[in-house]
Chain A
Amino acid sequence: MYFDNSATTQPYQEVLSAYRKASESYFANPSSFHHKGGEAERLLETARGQIGRELNVKPERCFFTSGGTEGNNMVLKGTAEARKNIGRHIITTAVEHPSVMKTCVYLEEKGYRVTYLPVGRDGRINTKDLHKALEPDTILVTIGHTNSEIGAVQPIEAIGEILSSYQDIYFHTDYVQGAAKIPLNIEKAGLDFVTVSAHKFHGLKGTGVLYKRPGTILEPLIHGGGQESGVRSGTENTAGAAAMAKAFRLAKESYAANSSRVEEIKDWTALRLQESGGVINSPFSGGSPFILNVSFPGIKPEVLVEALAERGASISTKTACASKNSEPSVVILAATGERELAESAVRISFSADTKKEEAAHLCSMCEEVLPQLKKVMEEQQ
């Protein structure tokens, strides 16, 4: 039983077939002059067109990347470098994914100032705080759409509304956990950049897309052959892009059809885990239907994850990119202010295919395991 769909998802069978077919029949370099290169280029552009359609934006605003981390790095470092003469202030939140957070820390070392907006118990920022944080030399506001640990969804359109009176500020959202799962009106929100990664919606690792509004300037992160209109150099991964387009369409359909069903499972699971002493860290309403974060105070999350793994269920502690260290969760700490919760949180993340029986089975396992773990913890103390 796999409950770690926020870390990565199982690629769809159709996605694998699309990848295989494309890598066999359209293997040529899309930049090549010859016929085969032209065929590969057309496939790449078809994939771009489909992805544009799924995101409801013009395809020529979509640029292929190697994934979410690269997309976020491109925007943050690319803006900082391209706009250093305009300003050196960046606004983000205290609950971003490491690919944004660590990049902000890096930029601070380089002399940029970063404001980390606080979040409430629901994991969302208060737009008043954003108002206050704006400075004359703010060049970028980067706020993740769906939080990868607790599933809080930020008020992106409201933020966009505020920023619409500041033409000089770029607005970026890390949409990695939201794409294909939770709708976002990119143009209405006035977004300049949007990061998407395919392996979170049953596409392949190593593929992603960056939406970039025309007129914006990013210093490229990767220099070379000038592919992707100079935004991202490197031989294009045509088959990966085709597979991503396929995954996007299938996932969007499937998640739309199953969203309320999975949300019920999530709410049901939350209630049942509360009965076992769980404290729910995810927002009670308005959050992602696919992410449930719960703390069992006094229980080390690694130990619970391990115990469930032995019984055949995969859940996780934090976002996978930060799960190697056993530090308390930065996100839970920011949202709850309680260290005890931040030190004992686990994440259960669903896909559109998750079944209620699986969730029930997981809850039973927790109910079996938790008293045992509690006992062990008490004995240790």
Chain B
Amino acid sequence: MPAIYADHAATTPLHPEVAEAMIESMKNPAGNPSSVHEYGRRARKRLDGARRTVASSINANPKEIVWTSGGTESNNLALRGFMHANQERGKHLVTSAIEHHAVLHTARALEKEGFEVTYVHPDEQGVVPVEKIMEAVTGETILVSLMYVNNETGVVQPVHEAAETLAQRGIAFHTDMVQAYGQLPFNVKETPVTMATMTAHKINGPAGAGCLFVRQGTKVRPELTGGEQERKRRAGTENVAAVEGFARAAELQRNSLEERRQELESLRSAFLAELDRHGVLYQINGEHAEKSPHILNVYFPGIQLESFLVQMDMEGVAVSSGSACTAGTVEPSHVLEAMYGKDARIYESVRFSFGYGNTVEDMKTAAQAAAKINRKMKEKEALK
């Protein structure tokens, strides 16, 4: 049985070089970076080196990087931290209906705390139009949060245009770029975002490490209080080894951005070509939108989703129905629902996501498995 992992949007395998860097980091005695002695200083130096690497990957100043425990914490810090610190200027947040739960549930928590939130819907292609965001903006709006690449469909959002438009209006802008980081080029000098969320485990780095870019001069209330780490923006002993792993992963991604893009494109086309060759009936969700090449969300009309996933798994192909955080329960995707309404399509779509370790052969095998299961389901349906 082949073991093909096609769920890279949920999490990615640790790159061997990253593992190496981390084990090295943990082995060489390094203290608590806040300690003033030699061990502590050594840890501090490593932490700062990693900070420079990650900062430079988006052309930021190292001071603008706040280490966190991952994407969820970064999104919480961006939204709650910013809204609370700046509420005297207004209490309105604009975000989209297709954000990750780390943003959506934080927005709900803010509503409970007395803030007002508007959720802008995407068009049928899964794109949240900047005009619709601007229609939602009021005099009370102090922050807009829009993800860069949707984690379920891979659809690229107009982050650059939104950032520029909002910058002109003097409204802060946050982007959850967890799925875009390492896939699409991004430069905070060119795109005037106020804050941006990144995480290591989506780019073959370790789980438990992430960061928030916070542009200089931005007021953010710390969500974790205690020691004065991270310029008082995030208390807690810094996770040196994980952060060094993150930096190594960022470097690897950065050095191979174009090369990997081509690779992913070829994996994706091999997969689709194989589906076509088997005459599978399917549609790509967000077909006409610009998409990150690592995510492909496919509608197979008439499939039983849960059974499809189980059978794919038995064929040795790991895929998912949507974001892993909701995947434990196979509930319809809020993203597809926002795009297509309560259509059958949202119950019959599968997310394939590609990355490190996948080969063209793997993709053909995965497509063959999908084709086989699809055919079996159709036959069963016909016999009913």
Q: Chain A residues in contact with chain B, CB under 8 A?
A: 2, 4, 7-8, 10-11, 16, 19-20, 23-24, 27-29, 31-37, 66-70, 72-73, 97-103, 105-106, 197, 199, 204-207, 220-227, 233-240, 302, 305-306, 308-309, 312, 314-317, 319-325
Contacts and interface: CB of A to CB of B under 8 A. Distances in A.
Contacts of A4: 31-32, 35, 37, 39-40
Nearest to A73: B224
B152 interface: no
B210 to A, nearest CB: 9
Contacts of B71: 234-235
Contact of B11 (A28, A35, A66): A28
A321 B318 contact: no
Given A33-B327, A37-B318, A221-B223, A24 B35 contact: no
A224 B73 CA distance: 9
B268 interface: no
Interface string B99-129: 0111001101100000000000000000000
Contacts, number: 267
Given A206-B242, A235-B325, A2 B31 contact: yes
Interface string B16-53: 00010011001101011011111110000000000000
A24 B324 contact: no
B97 interface: no
Contacts of A305: 36-37
Given A69-B237, A235-B201, A225 B226 contact: no
A137 B60 CA distance: 47
B313 interface: yes
Contact of B324 (A31, A222, A324): A31
Interface of B: 5, 7, 10-14, 19, 22-23, 26-27, 29, 31-32, 34-40, 69-73, 75-76, 100-102, 105-106, 108-109, 199, 201, 206-209, 223-229, 235-242, 309, 312-313, 318-321, 323-328, 330
Contacts of A319: 227
A36 B22 CA distance: 23
B102 A106 contact: no
Contacts of A37: 7, 10, 318, 324, 327
A238 B321 CA distance: 22
B34 A321 contact: yes
Contacts of B102: 223-225, 233-234
A321 B109 CA distance: 29
Nearest to A221: B223
A33 B309 contact: yes
Contact of A222 (B22, B40, B72): B72
24 contacts: A4-B35, A4-B40, A7-B35, A19-B22, A29-B7, A31-B324, A33-B321, A35-B318, A70-B69, A99-B224, A100-B226, A206-B239, A224-B100, A225-B100, A225-B326, A226-B101, A234-B71, A234-B73, A236-B207, A237-B206, A316-B40, A319-B227, A320-B32, A322-B228
A73 B68 CA distance: 14
B5 A36 contact: yes
Contact of B207 (A100, A106, A240, A314): A240
Given A69-B224, A320-B227, A31 B325 contact: yes
A316 B10 contact: no
A206 B209 contact: yes
B276 to A, nearest CB: 25
Given A8-B237, A69-B224, A320-B40, A224 B101 contact: yes
A240 B224 CA distance: 20
Given A225-B323, A234-B70, A20 B318 contact: no
Contact of B241 (A204, A223, A302): A204
Nearest to A102: B225
Contact of B227 (A11, A28, A322): A322
Contacts of A207: 208
Given A66-B70, A206-B239, 14 more contacts: A7-B35, A16-B27, A36-B5, A67-B69, A102-B235, A205-B242, A206-B209, A223-B105, A224-B100, A225-B100, A225-B326, A237-B69, A314-B35, A321-B34
A197 B227 CA distance: 15
B105 to A, nearest CB: 4
A4 to B, nearest CB: 6
Contacts of B327: 29, 31-33, 37
B73 A28 contact: no
A23 B14 contact: yes
A70 B324 contact: no
A321 B40 CA distance: 12
Given A4-B39, A238-B207, A225 B72 contact: yes
B309 A66 contact: no
B10 A223 contact: no
Contacts of A199: 237
A66 B236 contact: yes
A317 B37 CA distance: 10
B319 A34 contact: yes
A34 B223 CA distance: 33
Contact of A33 (B73, B223, B330): B330
Contact of A321 (B237, B240, B328): B237
Contacts of A103: 225-226
A233 to B, nearest CB: 5
Nearest to B201: A235
Contacts of A101: 226
B320 A33 contact: yes
Contact of A235 (B34, B237, B324): B324
B318 A222 contact: no
Given A7-B31, A69-B224, A97-B226, A24 B237 contact: no
Contacts of B7: 28-29, 32, 34, 36-37
B225 A224 contact: no
Contacts of B105: 223-226, 233
Given A33-B309, A204-B241, A321-B237, A224 B325 contact: yes
B240 A323 contact: no
Given A69-B235, A204-B241, A320 B35 contact: yes
A317 B34 CA distance: 11
Contacts of A235: 11, 70-72, 199, 201, 207, 324-325
A321 B31 CA distance: 12
Given A20-B19, A34-B318, A205-B237, A320 B34 contact: yes
Nearest to A238: B207
Contacts of A314: 31, 35, 37-40
Contacts of B39: 2, 4, 314
A237 B242 CA distance: 11
A317 B106 contact: no
Nearest to A237: B208
Nearest to B322: A33
A24 B242 CA distance: 15
A36 B237 CA distance: 31
